[in-house]
Structure 1
């Protein structure tokens, strides 16, 4: 999927590996209690800017996690998050 200046990282390629490394793809169908419990043990933090082209995707992922009772945090900051300066700031805040 291409979003603004962010090209399709896989150039149209899609297989099970891409599917299982893309939470917004595999979470809707995930029903295994054991796997869900493993995700519930994690500290999941989503950070995104309010002007970021991926904001809707992050909100969707947050809803999926909530629907599966997987604890997480969604932080929305001002501006765009997909820039080096924003990443440095987020790393200091969340790592």
Structure 2
């Protein structure tokens, strides 16, 4: 005798949220706009002048982390321009403004 009234256990809220995000962003979260390392350094400089208004975090990357972040930023730039090349956009020459 097999009962047919079995129902799966209710999923946790975080499991539902994770599934919804996975459905919405199948490749993961990749925001369109990111700050360059130079822009981040500029924000840190502003924070040094106005600590109560800019940045509440005290995290600063180690030299190894900084080098890795620079490498990843450079790789991101190359992948962005590869995508532009597929669309037929030419990279700017020195002194020209980027798209």
Query: Looking at both structures, which has the greater relative contact order when contacts are Cα pairs under 8 Å and sequence separation is at least 6?
Result: 1
Please indicate, yes or no, whether the TM-score normalized by the shorter chain is above 0.5. no
Bigger share in strand = 1
Larger radius of gyration: 2
